[in-house]
Amino acid sequence: MQTTKAKAPKGRCHVRLLGEYCKGCGLCVEVCPKGSLVISRHLNSMGYSPVEVREGAECTGCCNCAVMCPDAAIEIVEG
């Protein structure tokens, strides 16, 4: 299972994306205040283009993306 991360300022939290569960709906992309999430060009095993963390992105820890995700494919993790 592919996971990607975005580090928060001061290392407080990061986004963990569970790419195999993501259907690429883009709802999380729309609600991210930092624009840290993008739709991938690659397909997961289900044939969807999952969301991934933009290179060099930072996470504010707002949890908007995790709350918005209908597939529970996003977690915000401290540390």
> CATH number, domain at 56?
3.30.70.20
pLDDT at residue 74 in the model? 96
Distance CA 42, CA 13 (A): 26
* Token pair belonging to 3: 């996971």
Range of the domain at 70: 3-78
**pLDDT tens sequence across 8-50:** 445 578 899 998 999 999 999 999 999 999 999 999 999 999 9
Domain count, the chain: 1
* Confidence band, pLDDT 50/70/90 cuts, at residue 1: low
**11 and 79 Cβ atoms separated by less than 8 Å:** yes
* Token pair belonging to 59: 């996470």
At 3, which amino acid appears? Answer: T
Between residues 57 and 74, the one the model is more confident about: 74
Distance CA 7, CA 40 (A): 18
